[in-house]
Each structure stands twice: as structure tokens, then as C-alpha cells.
């Protein structure tokens, strides 16, 4: 479309709901006599509501750029943002509500407006990246002839792929031509798939995204003086040559292998971003930008975009306000933590509690040597953080002094507000532990259990105060995995639950409320998943075929995951669930044998099935060999059945909680929306359960 | 312990362009103004390792809000100086930066410091004079200070009373010359080297860049001043035209022990000779420079005839004229304020002392025949301060005595 028709269409699409980012043009007399038309992007809000580009914002920017181009007294154009923010990219909400041609229109309009900054024959332009610059916020600067960046800018990047989109306002074309295809792969594909990693200002400069870097104390002043010197020819800007030969092919190949490894080709956006980089090599500006328009439009029609936005909303919003959690004001402060046990799990918990809550943490065990060993583990972990420079000596001293070990519970738990047990996974043992603890703690002290499978209600049944018992189920490794399932027993009261949620938040975890039920959320779904997979393998489908069936859904193939979790733990989970639901869950004979043989992994170091394991596997007389597609369909059907049952049983409040749990606790894919969105879009939920989840 | 007195030298001085209150710095923080000066000093003197700065003394009259929080220390940290560099806040109203210089200079002479940063800031748009003050009631009940002394304009009128020959016409004529000299100095590019540009935030207009003093009024004439109101007295003499305005700005200077300056390859722009502060009746605050100058000259063993260059703060024209009249110097003597002064550029209270010194250093460079110069200013609550400097570029007869 011509720019005039685009502008007209954009007028029509601009909604009152858009928080318009104004583009304020002001002439600045530079030392040396030249005049800069400086455009400040400012949506009139503070830094917690960053500038974005919707239709209205692009129209405003267009007007400002046109005015600067038309003003003969202006020699060059600069663009910067309100304090701390350049812009955070497109205003997705206003685009989503814009109707069928909204994406195509905004893609073309963004190009048409931004490119005026960098069009040959136009005026030289400067992007002054004064803070956050993501997506379109970075692209607007990329169109400029030159760029400066603030060294302390918190985040620069093109995270579109994470959201199921591609950088569609010039990023996919301009970045490889600016810094080379390999770095473009890093910025457009690798970083977004690595939990949306971004660059800090100094890193972005070293990466080649900017021509100069200045400190925050006088960033804009120094940028303007630098611009004046560039315009006066006193500073020549040198950039590294871009290799448009073999290196470009190698980069594209690297991008393809990252996409294969991370998404199994299941995220169309990641794949498309690599294709855009590949095509950019021989494309001119018009062709490159047109390819981005096409890609953006195509991505907007994929279910993965919807699912990614859904996932984004889950981790950004739902994770912060857990469904069903009682009012926060009910929570009691936690000023001291007791841990029953001093083994590896207990010690990991101690590290997490002391680092995040910075309160006294007491590890208790039956003999002092074991308690001391637990403390030594915590101290060693804290020393590792010190050695890595992630903590200062003083802070390390503080935290170390907070962790003690004891065999005397009455002394150890005096004054504790929160006691968590991490002892052997056996109901009678845990009941005894709580009974003993209850004698020494105050009546208000929360008793939390890290059980992964036992009933909270039963564990609390014989206590004087069963209402203070709550499940606090972490995932391994505790320091890394974001999910914490908070399990409400039948008698757990709201104060206990509120304290548990507040503590979970203090620990930096994503908390989800779960009913007291076998294996709670993630382990139940994974148990059904692994059981179905194992049954298929036991019935004759080779393990490598089974393992190839889940690319793009789970973070790793099931038998790799099983090896990571530990075959014995996986077996225990399956047995627990089998006892609860013998008709649906499955205990694999092969897995039992592998556990009995004390094998830690199905795979050998060469990546092939370990021959000793292979010899242990069940070999049916009439093997039923399935294709990867059949394996996938059968397993997802089982998951659809289980997810529906869990919702019907009230294990969680809504399918959103299942998905948030699977994304944060099992690494299920963002672009599938975790689990239930995938089951809906693939038609499996309707086929298996007769209805959709959403 | 044997102790040797050390020579103190003025290495460099910078300032922000000055603004009118509610003008170009309306949305710019006070601390940011002085931080930019500190950064500029460090940038201009790359041979100075930042950790060699032994003190950062920053003056502000109203030490609250963005001029509070021990501004010398916080500004040093925010300017990116190492954490090992200490700092403090200082206040002597209009002579804040001058006192920051003399106090740290004394420390250098004593051997406590090798290199210091001394400066001042006043954002009068955000912190008008008198903001949050709580005068002791004894001031009135026991007549310790004439209540008129708390209004600087009144003290200027009182000074006119003391020097009846200094008429409004003389004051206005002085102001016209000050404006003209500042415009000429800008045209000749003499003031721009002192300035560090400041990016100015405006929520309405977007970012801008301040590169020049906002208060200057080119084309000021006797006629244009004649009709201005005399807000402090009816039929008075003090007007907005023959006084400095309400201004925002900051300054900073680098001072060093002379040997350290040589060791680090830092320029020696002026050498400190002597300084003095003196009190007068608070209600004629503007007379303060006279006893202060007498005292400083006496300490240096000099007379007024030895002084070849003057930078006198123009809080009010009458205050400059009274000092000149006291010493029999003509109102339009070319040695006095050759680049104009606060009437044109502005007087952000606690920052102005270093501006005077920076301009005197420039005058010394231009005029190697001038051996001694002084910077002087009146100070609220009835004080004056004078600092006498020696020109290291001096090429007079007694060359063996210098260097």
C-alpha cells in the first residue's frame, strides 16, 4: 500500500484505547552550528508504562519525522525516549483489537514511517538509545544512520520470536546487514528462545548495535556532542565489515540447528526468522521489508501466536496473582525457618530460604554430624556464589551466620514461624516428624511438607492443629525451577495458605494452588505422559522412535527427561499414581528392571541406547511398532483425558493453572501455550473429552 | 612532625549554562546539574586518575530535596567517581562555592588533600531562597538582626542609603554595561569554554539542550531599565534590571596542591594567594566585600593597587559599585568583570563563587600583564568573601619571584 493509503487506514484503525506515544520534535542547536531535530518519544506515563507503537503512535512519529524533513533549518534528525525508556515495541493490544488487516497495515506502516529515518538521500539520523529498547523500540533506532546507547540501558533485544512473531519493522533485514548474520541469529532467534534473553547497553554496544556508548549521568549530552562531531566530520564511524559469503550460510545453518534443537521446528516464528535472515543477504531494502511484512502477516494467523500471547499473559500476570490464593493481608510474617532433615533436599531448601528470606534457618537431623554436613553444604553453596561474584563477602557472612544445624528440635524450632520437612517420602515417618515438631513450635507456626505424592490431609490428621499444615512442593533443582505447587489439605486454613503463598513469593517462585490429590499437578501429568510413553515402548516401539515424537512440546525427549529426573524417582511417581488410579497409570516393567540394575540413564555417553539397558528392556513376542506420529497422538490423548479429569476433580482452578504449571515446572513450550492450548488447537481435546479446554 | 605549607592552584572550572527559574531547567534536577559539572571536569582532565580526588565539597543554600542528602557525597557517586572518594555539603548562602573552594584549599595547604573538587548548585526554581526556614524569634525580640536583612533586596536599598552618591542611574548604567559585556563575551566565544551543555527534560516539548545562559538580555538600554518597578521600596533604586535574577545552575572547580598538579600534568591556571570572610551589619549585606577585601589584602601583604583583575559578583549593581567607590575605582574600569556578570548571566546562589574564579582564570590567560586578581562577593546575613589569586602567566618584571 502507498504511504497515504496506509496513513488513512491507520487513522481508521486507531482506537481510543491506545495509550499514544507522542513524538515531540524540538530543534536543538548543536555545538558547531548545526541544528538537530530531536524527537522525544513519550507516552506521558512514568517508566513503569513504557512507550509503545500502536497506530496512533506511528502516525504521531510520522508527523514528527515529516516536519523535521521539511524544515530546512534542520540538518539531521535524532530520536530518543522519555527517561529510562526508548520504546518497548509494538502495542500488541491495540493491534489485536484492530481487525483482519490490522497486522498487515501496521507492519507496512511501521516500515514506511521508520524507513524515513534511514532513507538514502534523506537527512542523517541518530538513534539515541537511552534505556529499554525492545522489538520495534530497537528497530526504530536501527533505521537511523547512527546510534548511541546508554551503558546502563537495562534491556535491548528483538524478543518477537518468543511471542510467536518475527521482528517485522526492519529488524530481520537491518540487523544482519549491520552486525552480520551470525549475530542476527543470536539476537533474533537464540536469545528469544533462551527465556527471552536481552542485552544490556554496554553489551549491545560491543555487539555492534550502536556506534558509541555513554554513561547514564550525561548520556544525552554526550550523544548530542558526538552527533555534532560526526556531522562535522570530526568523528568517523567505523563498523566491522559484514561477511556476506560463507559466514552468512554458516550463520543460517546455526540458526536452523538452534531452531531444530529448541523447537523441533514446532515454532513457526523461529523458523521464519531464520528464513528472513537467510533471504536478507541478497535482498534490497524494499524486498527485505516486504518479506518482513509477509512474515508478520503469516505469523499473525498461526495458532502459535495466540498461544504465545496466552503463555506470556500466564507468566506475566497469572503467575503474579495465583488463582484461589487467600487475601495477602492474612499472611503472617516469617522471621525464622526450621527444616526437618539435613539431607540434600533439605540443604537445597536451606540455601533457597536463607538467600531469599534472609532469616535464621535451622537444619535439624537425628545426629549432629548429619546436621553439620547440611550446614556445610549450604555454606559451600554460598561460597560458590561469592566466588562467582554474585554475592559480596559481607552478604555471604550474613547468610552463613543465619544457617545452623541442630539435633534439638525444641531449641531449634523455638520462635520459628515456618517449619518445612524434607525427610523420607513415607507417610508414617512424616506424621511422626510433624507430631514431634508440634510439641515444640508455637500454635501459629506453619508446618509445610515438601512431599511430592503423599496426602496433606492424612499427614495432618492426627495433629492438634491440622489447619496449619500445607504442601509446599518444589521442583528439582530447587534453585532453578520456578514452580512451587502449594497444596491445600482439607483442613488447611486461610492464614496458613496465605502465609504459604507469601513465603513462596518471597522465595521468588511461581506459586499455584492445588487440591490435595495424588501427585498434585506436574507430576501427575508427567506421570500419565511417561506412563503412556513407557507402555508404548514396552509394547514394542523402539525407545528412539518414542523419543522423537515430542519435539516442540516437551523440553527434551521423555527418556532423556527420565534419565535427568532419575529412573528410581520416576518409577516411584508412577507407582504412586498407579496405586491411586490403576486403570490409567502404568508401571513399566522395563523401568523397574533398569532401576533394579541401578542404571542412571537409558542413554550411554555416545547418545545411543546403553547396550546394558537395551538388554534389560521388555521384548514383547509380537511387538506393536508405532510411528512417531502415532506415539504423539496416543500420548497427547492420554494427557487430554488426564487434564480434563484434573479439572473435573478440582485439582486446580482452571486450565490456565495446568498450563502455567507445565510451562514453569516441566518446561513445556511457550508457543504451544503449555498443554491445554495445544490439545485444543490439535483437535485432541474435543476428540478425547468431547469439549475444548478454552 | 615537620609540616610544610603547600601552594594551592586552581586547575580548571566549569559550569552549566545558567537558567531562569521555571525556565530551561524547570524539569531538571539540581543534583544532576552539578553532577554534569563534575563529569566535565574529569573528562577535561584525563590525566587525573579519579581515585586521586581526595574530597568533593558541594555547596547549596537550601539543602533539601534534590539539593539534600549530603550532596557532595551523592553527587560524587552519581558522577561515577570511585566509592573511595568522599564528599560533603557546605553552605554559606551566596558564597557557598567560594567557601567550598577556600575550605578545601585550606585542606590542601595543610596537606590533608592533594586534589579536590569544589563547587556549588542552586536550583532556585525548585528551592526559592528561604524555603523551609524557621528564623529564631529572638532575631526580632532581641533585635539581633534587623528583619529587613532577610530580604536581600531591602539590604541593597539600604546600601544605596549608605552610599548616597550611588544613584539608580549609576546602578542602571552599570547593569546595561554588564549585559553588553556578556553579549560581547559570548560573541567572542569567551564564555562558551566554561560551559558544560545540559540535556533539558520537558514533558511537553521533549528533550532539549541548554548551551547558553538563559537570563542574558541582549539590547538592554537605560531606557528599558528606567521604567522597571522598584519592588522593595516605592521610589527605590533596586529593580529586576540592576540585580541578578532568580536562577538555576551549578559550577565545579578542580583545585590541587601545586606539586601534585605538576606530577599529574594538570594545568595551573591560578595560584591562591589569600582569602578572607568578614561580617557586616546584616541589613547592609552588600557592604560585606569591603572588609573582606581589606582583610584578604592585609593577609597577602598587598594593596588594592596590586590587583589587576576583578571578578565581583553582581548580586546587585550597588554592591559592586560600593566596593569600587570604596577603593576609588571607576564604575566602568575595564579590569572589573570584563565578561559581564551575574546581572546578565544569573546568580544561582551557592554556585556563583566558582564562576567568578573560572572567569578570572580566563582573564589571567588573556592578560599576562596582570599579576594579581580577586574574586569577591557579598553574602546573605551580612557577610562578604574575597579570594586573591596570582596569575601564573604573569610576565612582569619580577619573574624570578614567580613560578
CA dihedral for A579, A582, A584, A587, sign (positive or negative): positive
Q: Among the three residues A454, A489, A515, which one is the final residue of a domain in this structure?
A: A515
What backbone phi and psi angles, to 5 degrees, belong to A221? -60, -50
CB count in 10 Å sphere of residue B167? 14
pLDDT > 90: percent of chain A: 84
CB contact under 8 Å between A25 and B198, yes or no, is no
Question: Considering CB atoms only, which of B39, B202, B211 is closest to A218?
Answer: B39
Q: How many CB pairs under 8 A join A and B?
A: 56
Same domain, A389 and A365: yes
**A97 has pLDDT over 50:** yes
Mean pLDDT of chain B: 96
Same domain, A213 and A336: no
Q: How many residues does chain A have?
A: 694
**How many Å lie between the alpha carbon of B152 and the closest alpha carbon of chain A?**
35
Q: Using one digit for the tens of pLDDT, what is the confidence trace for B296-332?
A: 999 999 999 999 999 999 999 999 999 999 999 999 9
Same domain, A471 and A573: no
Cβ contacts of residue A118 below 8 Å, gap of 6+? A125, A143, A144, A145
Question: Considering CB atoms only, which of B79, B206, B211 is closest to A26?
Answer: B206
Same domain, A472 and A527: no
Same domain, A391 and A456: yes
Distance, CA of B131 to CA of A273 (rounded, Å): 59
Distance, CA of A330 to CA of A165 (rounded, Å): 41
**B291 has pLDDT over 60:** yes
> What's the structural domain count of chain A?
3
Question: C-alpha cell of A415?
Answer: 520462635
**B341 has pLDDT over 50:** yes
pLDDT of residue A205: 98
CB contact under 8 Å between B211 and A80, yes or no, is no
CB contact under 8 Å between A25 and B206, yes or no, is yes
Does B250 lie at the interface with A, CB-CB under 8 angstroms? no
**How many Å lie between the alpha carbon of B192 and the closest alpha carbon of chain A?**
10
To probe the interface with A, which of B77, B207, B212 has the most A CB atoms within 10 Å?
A: B207
pLDDT of residue B231: 96
A522-538 vs A589-596: helix axis angle to the nearest 10? Answer: 100
Q: Which residues of A touch B202 (CB under 8 A)?
A: 26
Phi-psi domain of B2 (left: phi exceeds 0; alpha: psi -120 through 50; beta: other) = beta
Contact in structure between B271 and B258 (CB atoms under 8 Å): yes
pLDDT of residue B397: 62
Q: How far is CA A211 from CA A144, A186, A206, B40, in A?
A: 11, 19, 9, 22
**B398 has pLDDT over 60:** no
Question: C-alpha cell of A690?
Answer: 468431547
Q: To which residue does cell 521533549 refer?
A: B206
pLDDT > 70: percent of chain A: 100
Compute the 3-state secondary structure of chain A and give helix, strand, coil in percent, each to the nearest 5. 50, 15, 35
**Structural domain boundaries enclosing A579:** 522-689
**B258 has pLDDT over 90:** yes
Mean pLDDT of chain A: 94
Minimal CA–CA distance to A599: which of A559, A568, A557? A568
Within a domain: A167: no
Question: C-alpha cell of A598?
Answer: 541401578
Distance, CA of A333 to CA of A337 (rounded, Å): 11
Q: Using one digit for the tens of pLDDT, what is the confidence trace for A336-370?
A: 999 999 999 999 999 999 999 999 999 999 999 99
For residue A138, give the CATH number of its domain.
Answer: 3.90.226.10
What backbone phi and psi angles, to 5 degrees, belong to B398? -90, 55
Task: Spell A179-210 as b/e; 16+ CB within 10 A means b.
Answer: bbbbbbbbbbbbbbbeebebbbbbebbebbbb
Q: Using one digit for the tens of pLDDT, what is the confidence trace for A428-471?
A: 999 999 999 999 999 899 999 999 889 999 999 999 999 999 99
Of A265-269, A513-517, A593-597, B80-84, minimum mean pLDDT range: A265-269
Same domain, A495 and A560: no
For residue B315, give the H/E element and its range.
none
CB contact under 8 Å between B206 and A39, yes or no, is yes
**B402 has pLDDT over 80:** no
Contact in structure between A599 and A612 (CB atoms under 8 Å): yes
What backbone phi and psi angles, to 5 degrees, belong to B256? -155, 160
Question: C-alpha cell of B196?
Answer: 558544560
For residue B249, give the H/E element and its range.
strand B247-257
**A218 has pLDDT over 50:** yes
Does B79 lie at the interface with A, CB-CB under 8 angstroms? yes
Q: What is the DSSP string of A537-603?
A: HHTT--HHHHHGGGTTTSSS-HHHHHHHH-HHHHHHHHHHHHHH-TTT----HHHHHHHHTT-S-SB
Per-residue confidence band for A109, with pLDDT thresholds at 50, 70 and 90: very high
Alpha helices in A419-566 (DSSP H): 427-440, 456-460, 494-506, 522-538, 543-547, 558-565
Q: Among the three residues A186, A210, A234, which one is the final residue of a domain in this structure?
A: A234
Could you tell me which residues are beta bridge partners of residue B385?
Answer: B277, B377
Same domain, A5 and A37: yes
Q: Using one digit for the tens of pLDDT, what is the confidence trace for B191-218?
A: 999 999 999 999 999 999 999 999 999 9
Contact in structure between A641 and A689 (CB atoms under 8 Å): yes
Within a domain: A28: yes
Q: To which residue does cell 554496544 refer?
A: A205
CA dihedral for A451, A452, A453, A457, sign (positive or negative): positive
- Mean pLDDT, residues A645-670: 95
Same domain, A205 and A57: yes
Per-residue H/E/C for A331-342: CCCCCCEEEEEC
CB contact under 8 Å between A221 and B199, yes or no, is yes
Question: Considering CB atoms only, which of B32, B39, B207 is closest to A80?
Answer: B207
Q: How many residues does chain B have?
A: 403
More confident of the two residues A564 and B333: B333
User: From A80, which residue of chain B is nearest by alpha-carbon distance?
Assistant: B207
Within a domain: A223: yes
**A149 has pLDDT over 80:** yes
Distance, CA of B147 to CA of A129 (rounded, Å): 53
Distance, CA of A147 to CA of A207 (rounded, Å): 13
To probe the interface with A, which of B41, B193, B199, B252 has the most A CB atoms within 10 Å?
A: B199
Per-residue confidence band for B336, with pLDDT thresholds at 50, 70 and 90: very high
User: From A31, which residue of chain B is nearest by alpha-carbon distance?
Assistant: B211
Minimal CA–CA distance to B265: which of B101, B44, B45? B45
A628-649 vs A655-665: helix axis angle to the nearest 10? Answer: 130
For residue A377, give the CATH number of its domain.
Answer: 3.40.50.720
Same domain, A574 and A623: yes
Within a domain: A9: yes
Within a domain: A341: yes
For residue A588, give the CATH number of its domain.
Answer: 1.10.1040.50
Q: Give ∠ CA A107-A109-A115 in degrees, rounded to 5.
A: 100
Q: Using one digit for the tens of pLDDT, what is the confidence trace for A14-26?
A: 888 889 999 999 9
CB contact under 8 Å between B39 and A217, yes or no, is yes
Listed ranges A579-583, B83-87, B399-403; the one with the highest mean pLDDT: B83-87
CB contact under 8 Å between A26 and B201, yes or no, is no
Distance, CA of A335 to CA of A442 (rounded, Å): 13
Alpha helices in B86-241 (DSSP H): 96-110, 138-141, 152-162, 168-187, 222-226
Within a domain: A561: yes
- By DSSP bridging, strand A85-87 and strand A132-134 are parallel
Burial class (CB in 10 A: 0-12, 13-18, 19+), B370: buried
Q: Which residues of A touch B203 (CB under 8 A)?
A: 42, 44, 82
Q: Using one digit for the tens of pLDDT, what is the confidence trace for A679-689?
A: 999 999 999 99
Per-residue H/E/C for A212-274: EEECHHHHHHHHHHHHHHHHCCCCCCCCCCCCCCHHHHHHHHHHHHHHHHHHCCCCHHHHHHH
Q: Which residues of B touch A221 (CB under 8 A)?
A: 36, 196-199, 209
Active site residues of B: 94, 347, 378
- By DSSP bridging, strand A212-214 and strand A156-157 are unpaired
Q: Is A307 helix (H, G, I), strand (E, B) or coil?
A: helix
**A65 has pLDDT over 70:** yes
- Mean pLDDT, residues A523-542: 95
CA dihedral for A76, A77, A82, A86, sign (positive or negative): negative
**B149 has pLDDT over 90:** no
Distance, CA of B281 to CA of A248 (rounded, Å): 81
User: From the centroid of its chain, how far is CA A312?
Assistant: 8
Task: Spell A115-146 as b/e; 16+ CB within 10 A means b.
Answer: bbbbeeebbbbbbbbbbbbbbbbbbbbbbbbb
Same domain, A506 and A580: no
Q: Among the three residues A515, A549, A574, which one is the final residue of a domain in this structure?
A: A515
Within a domain: A250: no
Burial class (CB in 10 A: 0-12, 13-18, 19+), A690: exposed
Burial class (CB in 10 A: 0-12, 13-18, 19+), A664: buried
Q: Which residues of B touch A220 (CB under 8 A)?
A: 199, 207, 209
Same domain, A504 and A563: no
User: From the centroid of its chain, how far is CA B367?
Assistant: 21
Within a domain: A181: no
Question: C-alpha cell of A19?
Answer: 495509550
- Mean pLDDT, residues A531-537: 95
**A476 has pLDDT over 90:** no
Same domain, A549 and A605: yes
Amino acid at each position: 500500500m502507498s504511504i497515504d493509503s496506509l496513513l488513512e487506514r491507520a487513522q481508521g484503525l486507531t482506537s481510543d484505547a491506545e495509550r499514544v506515544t507522542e513524538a515531540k520534535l524540538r530543534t536543538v542547536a548543536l555545538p558547531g552550528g548545526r541544528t538537530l531535530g530531536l524527537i522525544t518519544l513519550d507516552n506521558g506515563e512514568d517508566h513503569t508504562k513504557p512507550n509503545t507503537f500502536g497506530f496512533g503512535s506511528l502516525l504521531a512519529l510520522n508527523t514528527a519525522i515529516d516536519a523535521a524533513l521539511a524544515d530546512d533549518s534542520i540538518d539531521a534528525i535524532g530520536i530518543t525516549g522519555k527517561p529510562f525508556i526508548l520504546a518497548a515495541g509494538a502495542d500488541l493490544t491495540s493491534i489485536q483489537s484492530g481487525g483482519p488487516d490490522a497486522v498487515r497495515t501496521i507492519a507496512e506502516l511501521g516500515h514506511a514511517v521508520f524507513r524515513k529515518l534511514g532513507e538514502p538521500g534523506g537527512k542523517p539520523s541518530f538513534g539515541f538509545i537511552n534505556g529499554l529498547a525492545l522489538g520495534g523500540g530497537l528497530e526504530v533506532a536501527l533505521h537511523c544512520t547512527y546510534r548511541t546507547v546508554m551503558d546502563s540501558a537495562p534491556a535491548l533485544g528483538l524478543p518477537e520470536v518468543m511471542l510467536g512473531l518475527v521482528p517485522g519493522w526492519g529488524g530481520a533485514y537491518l540487523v544482519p546487514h549491520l552486525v552480520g548474520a551470525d549475530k542476527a541469529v543470536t539476537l533474533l532467534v537464540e536469545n528469544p528462545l533462551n527465556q527471552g534473553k536481552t542485552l544490556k547497553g554496554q553489551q549491545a554496544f560491543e555487539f555492534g548495535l550502536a556506534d558509541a556508548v555513554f554513561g547514564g549521568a550525561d548520556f544525552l549530552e554526550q550523544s548530542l556532542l558526538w552527533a555534532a562531531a560526526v556531522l562535522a566530520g570530526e568523528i568517523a564511524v567505523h563498523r566491522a565489515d559484514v561477511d556476506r559469503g560463507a559466514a552468512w550460510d554458516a550463520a543460517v545453518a546455526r540458526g536452523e540447528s538452534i531452531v531444530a534443537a529448541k523447537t523441533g521446528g514446532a515454532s513457526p516464528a523461529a523458523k521464519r526468522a531464520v528464513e528472513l535472515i537467510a533471504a536478507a543477504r541478497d535482498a534490497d531494502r524494499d524486498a527485505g521489508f516486504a518479506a518482513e511484512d509477509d512474515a508478520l502477516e503469516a505469523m499473525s494467523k498461526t495458532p502459535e501466536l495466540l498461544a504465545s500471547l496466552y503463555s506470556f499473559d500466564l507468566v506475566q500476570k497469572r503467575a503474579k496473582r495465583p488463582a484461589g490464593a487467600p487475601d495477602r493481608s492474612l499472611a503472617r510474617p516469617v522471621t525464622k525457618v526450621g527444616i526437618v532433615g539435613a539431607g540434600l533436599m533439605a540443604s537445597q531448601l536451606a540455601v533457597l530460604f536463607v538467600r531469599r528470606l534472609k532469616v535464621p534457618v535451622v537444619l535439624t537431623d537425628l545426629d549432629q554430624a548429619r546436621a553439620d554436613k547440611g550446614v556445610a553444604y549450604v555454606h559451600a553453596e554460598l561460597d560458590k556464589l561469592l566466588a562467582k561474584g554474585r554475592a559480596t563477602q559481607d552478604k555471604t557472612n550474613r547468610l552463613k551466620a543465619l544457617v545452623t544445624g541442630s539435633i534439638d528440635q525444641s531449641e531449634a524450632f523455638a520462635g520459628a514461624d515456618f517449619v518445612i520437612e524434607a525427610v523420607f517420602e513415607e507417610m508414617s515417618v512424616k506424621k511422626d516428624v510433624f507430631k514431634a515438631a508440634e510439641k515444640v513450635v508455637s500454635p501459629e507456626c506453619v508446618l509445610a511438607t515438601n512431599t511430592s505424592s503423599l496426602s496433606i490431609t492424612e499427614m495432618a490428621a492426627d495433629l492438634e492443629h491440622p489447619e496449619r499444615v500445607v504442601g509446599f512442593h518444589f521442583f528439582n533443582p530447587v534453585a532453578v525451577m520456578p514452580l512451587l505447587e502449594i497444596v491445600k489439605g482439607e483442613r488447611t486454613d486461610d492464614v496458613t495458605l496465605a502465609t504459604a503463598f507469601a513465603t513462596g513469593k518471597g522465595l521468588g517462585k511461581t506459586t499455584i494452588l492445588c487440591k490435595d490429590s495424588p501427585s498434585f499437578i506436574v507430576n501427575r501429568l508427567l506421570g500419565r505422559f511417561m506412563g503412556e510413553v513407557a507402555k508404548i515402548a514396552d509394547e514394542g516401539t523402539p525407545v528412539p522412535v518414542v523419543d522423537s515424537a515430542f519435539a516442540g512440546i516437551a523440553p527434551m525427549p521423555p527418556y532423556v527427561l527420565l534419565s535427568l529426573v532419575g529412573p528410581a524417582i520416576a518409577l516411584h511417581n508412577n507407582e504412586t499414581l498407579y496405586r491411586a488410579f490403576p486403570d490409567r497409570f502404568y508401571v513399566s516393567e522395563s523401568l523397574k528392571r533398569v532401576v533394579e540394575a541401578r542404571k542412571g540413564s537409558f542413554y550411554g555417553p555416545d547418545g545411543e541406547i546403553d547396550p546394558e539397558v537395551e538388554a534389560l528392556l521388555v521384548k514383547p513376542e509380537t511387538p506393536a511398532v508405532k510411528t512417531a506420529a502415532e506415539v504423539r497422538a496416543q500420548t497427547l490423548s492420554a494427557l487430554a483425558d488426564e487434564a480434563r479429569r484434573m479439572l473435573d476433580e478440582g485439582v486446580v482452578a482452571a486450565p490456565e493453572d495446568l498450563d502455567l504449571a507445565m510451562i514453569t515446572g516441566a518446561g513445556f513450550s511457550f508457543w504451544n501455550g503449555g498443554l491445554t492450548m495445544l490439545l485444543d488447537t490439535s483437535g485432541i481435546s474435543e476428540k478425547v473429552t468431547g469439549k475444548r479446554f478454552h | 612532625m615537620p609540616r610544610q605549607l603547600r601552594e594551592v592552584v586552581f586547575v580548571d572550572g566549569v559550569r552549566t549554562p545558567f537558567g531562569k527559574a521555571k525556565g530551561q531547567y524547570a524539569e531538571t534536577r539540581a543534583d544532576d546539574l552539578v553532577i554534569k559539572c563534575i563529569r566535565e571536569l574529569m573528562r577535561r582532565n584525563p590525566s587525573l586518575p579519579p581515585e586521586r580526588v581526595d574530597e568533593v565539597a558541594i555547596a547549596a543554600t537550601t539543602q533539601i530535596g534534590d539539593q539534600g542528602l549530603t550532596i557532595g557525597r551523592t553527587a560524587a557517586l552519581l558522577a561515577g567517581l570511585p566509592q573511595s572518594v568522599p564528599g560533603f555539603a557546605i553552605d554559606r548562602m551566596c558564597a557557598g562555592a567560594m567557601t567550598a573552594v577556600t575550605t578545601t584549599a585550606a585542606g590542601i595547604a595543610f596537606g590533608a588533600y592533594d586534589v579536590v573538587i569544589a563547587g556549588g548548585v542552586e536550583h532556585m526554581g525548585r528551592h526559592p531562597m528561604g524555603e523551609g526556614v524557621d528564623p529564631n524569634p529572638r532575631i526580632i525580640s532581641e533585635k539581633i538582626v534587623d528583619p529587613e536583612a532577610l530580604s536581600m533586596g531591602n539590604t541593597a536599598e539600604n546600601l544605596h542609603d549608605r552610599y548616597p552618591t550611588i544613584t539608580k542611574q549609576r546602578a542602571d548604567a552599570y547593569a546595561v554595561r554588564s549585559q553588553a559585556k556578556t553579549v560581547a563575551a559570548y560573541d567572542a566565544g569567551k564564555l562558551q569554554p566554561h560551559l558544560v551543555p545540559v540535556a533539558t527534560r520537558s514533558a511537553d516539548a521533549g528533550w532539549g539542550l541548554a548551551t547558553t545562559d538563559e537570563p542574558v538580555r541582549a539590547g538592554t538600554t537605560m531606557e528599558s531599565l528606567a521604567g522597571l518597578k522598584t519592588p522593595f521600596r516605592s521610589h527605590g533604586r533596586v529593580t529586576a534590571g540592576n540585580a541578578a535574577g532568580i536562577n538555576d545552575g551549578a559550577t565545579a572547580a578542580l583545585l590541587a596542591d601545586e606539586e601534585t598538579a605538576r606530577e599529574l600534568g594538570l594545568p595551573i591556571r591560578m595560584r591562591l594567594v589569600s582569602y578572607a570572610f568578614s561580617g557586616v551589619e546584616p541589613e547592609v549585606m552588600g557592604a560585606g566585600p569591603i572588609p573582606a577585601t581589606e582583610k584578604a589584602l592585609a593577609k597577602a601583604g598587598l594593596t588594592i593597587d596590586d590587583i589587576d583583575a576583578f571578578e565581583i559578583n553582581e548580586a546587585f549593581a550597588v554592591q559592586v559599585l560600593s566596593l569600587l567607590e570604596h577603593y576609588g575605582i571607576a564604575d566602568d574600569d575595564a579590569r572589573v568583570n570584563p565578561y559581564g556578570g551575574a546581572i546578565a548571566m544569573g546568580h544561582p546562589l551557592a554556585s556563583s563563587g566558582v564562576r567568578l574564579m573560572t572567569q578570572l582564570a580566563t582573564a589571567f590567560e588573556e592578560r599576562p600583564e596582570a599579576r594579581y586578581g580577586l574574586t569577591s562577593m557579598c553574602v546573605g546575613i551580612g557577610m562578604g568573601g574575597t579570594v586573591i589569586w596570582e596569575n601564573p602567566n604573569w610576565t612582569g618584571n619580577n619573574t624570578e619571584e614567580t613560578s
